[in-house]
Structures are given as C-alpha cells and as structure tokens.
A and B are shown apart, each in its own frame.
Chain A
Amino acid sequence: MALSQPRQAASLAADLVSDITRNERDLSGKAFRIALLAGIITAFVVLVVLIVDVINVGSPVLSERLGDLLSSTLGSKPETSGLSQALRGSFYIGVFVLLVAVPLGVSAAIFLEEYARQGRLTRFIDINIRNLAGVPSVVYGILGLTVFVQALRAFTGPDSNGRSVISAGLTLSILVLPIIIITSAEAIRAVPNGIREAGYGVGATRWEVVKSHVLPYAAPGILTGTVLALARALGEAAPLILVGATTGFLTSGSSYLPSSLQERFTALPIVISTWSGRPGEDWRASTAAAIVIMLAVVLVANAGAILLRNHYEKKR
C-alpha cells in the first residue's frame, strides 16, 4: 500500500492538471469569464452609444460653427452663443488643481507613508481621507461658499462678491485632494522596501531616499491619480453652482491675469447644464457640441498625463 502510493499520487496530480486545464469541466470558471466579458462589453457599448449620440446631435454645430462656438461668449441665442468663457474658466480650474491640489496631495501622501509613525492616529486619518473621497460634491460646494466665497472674499474677489474662478479652483482642489492623497499613498506604498533599504544602506538621508528613489518610482501611480483628479474637477458642476458660476450672460472684462481671476466666471459643465435646459432643437445641438468639446478637453488633459506617466515608467 505504502509502496504504491507515489504512483497513485502521480496519476492524481495528472488528473488534477487535466481537471484544471480542461475548460469544458470548469463550468464556473467559464461563467465567470462570460460575466467579465459582459461587464466590459456593457461599459464599452454605453460609452460608444453616448459618444455617437452626442456627436450625432452636435454635428451640425460642430461642422458649421466650430470656430465661432469656441470663440464666442455666452448669450441668448444658440446661433451666436459660444464657449470661450467656459473654456477659460475650466482651464483655470485645471491649473488650480495642478498647482494647488497636486502638490498638497502628494505632500500629504509622502508624509503619511514615509514620515508619519504608523499607528492609530495615521490609521484614523487614513480612514477619514477615504471617507472624504466619498462625500457628495455639493457638500464641497457649501464649503467653498462659506470659506472661499464669503470668508475669504477680500482675496477671492471683492468686486465679484467672491464668486470668482479663484473660489472655484480652490473649492475643486479641495474636492479632489482626497483622491490625490489616496492614489499617491497607494503608489508610494507599492514602492518595494528594498529600494528604500538600499538607499539607507549607502547612507542616504530620508529626504534623499524619498526624493531620488521613492518619488520617481511612484511617479506613474501619482500621475494616474492626478489624471483622475483632473478629470473629476473638470467635470463637476454641482459645487460650481454653489460657488456661483454665471449661467446666463457674462461679459469678459479685464484680460489681465491676476485681476481677471477675481472676476465672475463660468465653466464647461455649468454651460452644458444650463444650455441643456433651454428650449428648442438649436440649443440641444449646441449642448451636444459643448459636451463633445468638454470630452475633447478632458481627453487632451488625460493624454498629456498619460504621456508623462509613460515617460516616468520608461525611466524606472
């Protein structure tokens, strides 16, 4: 009995291998595969239908007056209204996110992962940041209204009652901060400990290890988080409504940078939501065209970040 055991074991193993590899017996595995496929197909079909529909509805506007649409201002008639002010507002919001939220978020992530002593307090902070990422965006709008629009009015725009692109940019920066912290912290955590130890082993300080080893290694992950954050900020409408984006009509006043940041503003998602409520086929077409342009803007921003990420990935 004991002697024949190895043979039996060998045949058992062969059986097992054939069991695992022979697809027809692996019914649940097959079902799982089909479920996964269904998931990706659903997501893809919805996306394609949405894009095709929007392009279809917006095509008359896109083909006839694309340049005009990009250069005109808000107005009462669909034939003459345009997105120049909305594009400018969204551009500044993007810049604010990149210059305010990204440095702050990455710093916070570095501190949490590399400097802070891991304990109850850091875990508590970590949980809170994760919670903040799930807070509805209107809540950030209320925060922006009370802090940036009202309390910091002297800085964000005394003449526009604080309803400026500075308030909007800062509000959305805070909105995306948790996303940046979480993704950056994940990326930093994924850096193999050996890299840190090697650095310390040759006598590097903590700052040198972080700066020259951890950060470059984590850069692709951090950039992915930045892309997500940027796309989220560019697409948010609810907080901007509370901050006071202009919906109806706006004359662009000063084009000088510091002061124009303090003036009333509008942004792409706001214009899309306003136009979509206006009556008639022409507004519908203009709204669709605005959506296409918004998609293009987000795509360009994402493409830029992906190029950067690939650049860093090659480096490491």
Chain B
Amino acid sequence: MKSRRAKFVAGLTALVLVTAACGSDDSSSTDTDTPATTAAPATTAGGSDTTAAPAALEGTIVVSGSSTVEPISIAVAEEFAAVNPDVNISVDGPGTGDGFKLFCAGETDINDASSKVKPAQLEECAANGIEMIELKVGNDGITMMTNTANSAVECLSFEQIYALTGPESQGISSWAQANAVAAELGETGTLPDAPLSLVGPGEESGTFSSFVEIVIEEFNEDRGQDATTRPDYQASADDNIIIQGIQGSDTSLGWVGFAFAKEATDVKVLQVSEEAGGECVTPTDETIGNNTYPISRPLFIYVNKAKAESNAALAAFVDYYLSNDGIANVAEVGYVSLSDADLASLRDTWSTRTVFAG
C-alpha cells in the first residue's frame, strides 16, 4: 500500500519534471528556430547536424482554407510526403474565409480558396505585412442537362434553376410550376408545361455543395430558406446513374460536375445565364476556364510569399503542386483542369513569385 503510493507520487513528480523540461526545451528551440526560418533556408537546421544529408528537406507546411480545394491539397500532400518524409504537413478545410483569417495572422503557409480573395481579406493580410502569391490551380464547374428530346428548353437563368431545384420547389412536378417563383425573382421567360423529372448528385457529394454554394446561395437568404436543394429529387452518388436518369425521361433535368458531363453522350447540355435575361453561356473548356460560364468558379491556392522564400520545404511543396504530377490531382479529384496556356501562366506567376495586389 505504502510503496504503491510512493510510486504514484514518483510518477506525478516525473510528470511535472517532464512538463517543465518540455517547457524549457521549447523556449530554447524557439530562439534557435526563429532566425532559421526568417533568415536562412530551412536546410541550415539540418546543417548543424553533422549526420544529416543536406539534400533532405525539412520543415513544416500548414495548409488551410476551402473545403472544396482541400481534397486536391490532401492528394498533393500525400504524394509529396511520400517522397519527403521529414517534412511535417497538415491540411485542413474550415472554409475559405476562416482560412484567410489564419493566413492573414501568419498561422498558415497556404490558403486554399474557392473564390478570389476579397479586398477586406487582402487588407487584413497587408496590415499584418503578409504578401500573397495567387495561384489558380483549377476550376469547379457544374453542367445542367436535359434529355435530347427536350426542345422546349435551351437556356436556364439562375432564377429558374433556383425555382426548379431550390428548397421552395419541393413538391412541384412540372417545369411550368416553377414560373411563379422565378417571376418573383425577376425572370420574365416561362418554362414549358411538361413533367419535371429531377436527377442530381446526393447531399454527400462535393458537387452538391458546389451547386448549393454557387446557385442556391444567391437567393436562399433573401427568400428566408435554408441553403440546400429540394429534398424530393432522384439523388445518386454515381454520375453514370444521373446521366441514365436524364436519358430516361423526355423532360428531365439533371446536373453533374463539368469534368464528367464533358464525356457524357446522348444528353442535351443547357446554357445558363447568371441573371434573368442575361447572356446564355454554354459550358465549354474555355467558358469554364475564364469563368464566364456562371456555374463555375476558380479554385485557388494563396501562398505566403515571405514564408515561401524562407521555407525551402514550402517552396518545394508548391513546386510539386504545380508540376504535372501534382496538378493532375485537380482532375483526379473531379474538378476541371486548367488549359495549357493557363497552366503556363500559373507556373510563370509562381516562378517569378509575383505578389497578388488585388
């Protein structure tokens, strides 16, 4: 009994010592680390170690930001970490805005973003002396489709898409029934009185959240609705089943990611206009590439310039991100790859470390 208590006390004491040791360890390591990260390339940390090979990369890379871009960054990080085991990488996806808060506080090295940096975010970063390099790594795009037999519909406005698929459309079974809501939103065109058979990706899919974020969120708040689609449509996680559903009914409406829709045959791709009466745009590589097609958005990574210069591991990571192997992950994850010209200018922006000024 007594000896056990003694052991317990000894254990506690040991813990206190360890904690104390780790506390003091800490302050000394900060002192030595800080100059290394600001003044000299990260390899100096290994340089003091006589056994370390100078070629092995060491350092820490912290990526945060958009959950839309997160899968690309995770895939790139996995491949990079496999080759560079001594580099510590962490990737998170709290959202573009939250990510910029961390980025502008200097906590993260790279911010993933599914929309261009906002002037306020740019100012916040500038106030903290943080310069960023904007790198557009890909595009996110969604194609609206109907059956090839459907000749009554050529182009849909965002208002009409919201009226057909948004939370307020629950229960409607004909295209024409969406006219009332669309008209309230300012749409003057009318949809045909034909049965509406809706197919689309299920709630668990990334395409679903992109669709909601790009189209539905334009309207839902003003209309006092939740940011979601109507629940009563044929949902599938499998793009092939969505395409089959569109082919299966003469007046169907469905949507899938552009990268997949490009390969689909025997469906009619609809044009989309961002506002009622606006210009109708067909989704193509070009219109997605320059984001003139409304249901598309650019996917960015923003790199902290000063850290990219001081942290060799970070620079190597971005190098790999933009390499052919790294950037291939954009398409692998399901997004739209950049055109060759865009890729060339992207690499140029990075190699010259061009700071984004707004």
Interface residues of A (CB under 8 A from B): 75-76, 99, 103, 154-155, 158-161, 246-251, 253, 257-259, 261-264, 277-281, 284
One of A76, A155, A249, A284 near B23 (C-beta < 8 A): A155
> What are the residues of chain B within 8 A of A155 when measuring CB–CB?
23, 26
Which of A248, A262, A280 contacts B22 (CB under 8 A)?
Answer: A262
Instruction: Name the contact of A251 in the complex, choosing from B21, B22, B88, B205 (C-beta under 8 A).
Output: B88
B12 interface contact, C-beta 8 A: yes
Interface residues of B in 23-71 (CB under 8 A from A): 23, 25-27, 29-30, 33, 60, 62-63, 70-71
Q: Is the interface of B mostly helix, strand, loop or mixed?
A: helix
Output the least CB separation between B36 and chain A (Å): 11
Is A279 a contact of B206 with CB atoms below 8 Å?
A: yes
On whether the beta carbons of A248 and B93 are closer than 8 Å, the reply is yes
Closest A residue to B60 by CB, please name it. A159
11 A-B residue contacts at CB 8 Å? A76-B78, A154-B27, A155-B26, A158-B29, A246-B92, A248-B70, A251-B88, A262-B26, A263-B88, A264-B88, A279-B237
CA–CA, A259 to B25, complex, Å?
8
Interface hits, B161-176 → A, CB 8 Å: none
> Within the assembled complex, what's the spacing in Å between the Cα atoms of A284 and B94?
20
CB distance from B56 to the nearest CB of A (A): 13
A249-B77, A259-B25, A279-B205 as given contacts; A158 in contact with B90, CB under 8 Å: no
From A249, A258, A264, A277, give the contact of B18 (CB < 8 A): A258
Q: Which residue of A lies closest to B64 (CB)?
A: A248
Cβ contacts under 8 Å, A261 to chain B: 22
In the complex, what distance in Å separates the CA atom of A257 from the CA atom of B21? Answer: 11
* B117 is an interface residue with CB less than 8 A from chain A: no
Q: In the complex, A251→B84 CA distance in Å?
A: 10
Q: Bits for B205-224, please: 1 = Cβ < 8 Å to A, else 0.
A: 11000000000000000000
- Enumerate chain B residues within 8 angstroms of A103, measured Cβ to Cβ: 12
Residues of B within 8 A of A246 (CB): 90-92
Report how far A251 CA is from B62 CA in the complex, Å.
Answer: 11
Chain B nearest CB: distance from A279 CB in Å? 5
Tell me, in angstroms, the Cα distance from A281 to B205 when the chains sit together.
11
- Quick one: which of A249, A258, A279 contacts B90, CB cutoff 8 A? A249
Q: How far is the CA of A56 from the CA of B177 in the complex (A)?
A: 42
For the complex, what is the distance from the CA of A75 to the CA of B23, rounded to whole Å?
A: 31
B10 CB → nearest A CB, Å: 13
CA distance A249 to B62 in the complex (A): 10
Closest to B205 in A: A279
Complex CA–CA separation, A228 to B148 (angstroms): 62
Residue in B closest to A281 when the chains form the complex, CB atoms: B237
Please tell me if B81 contacts chain A, counting CB pairs below 8 Å: yes
CA distance A279 to B70 in the complex (A): 13
Inter-chain contacts of B77 with A (CB < 8 A): 249, 251
Which residue from chain A places its CB closest to the CB of B89 in the assembled complex? Answer: A251
A251 to B25, CA, bound (A): 22
Q: Are B107 and A161 in contact (CB under 8 A)?
A: yes
A258 / chain B contacts, CB cutoff of 8 Å: 18, 21-22, 25
Q: Contacts A155-B23, A159-B60, A259-B22; is A250 near B89 (CB within 8 Å)?
A: yes
B11 to chain A, nearest CB (A): 9
Least distance between A98 CB and chain B CB atoms (Å)? 10
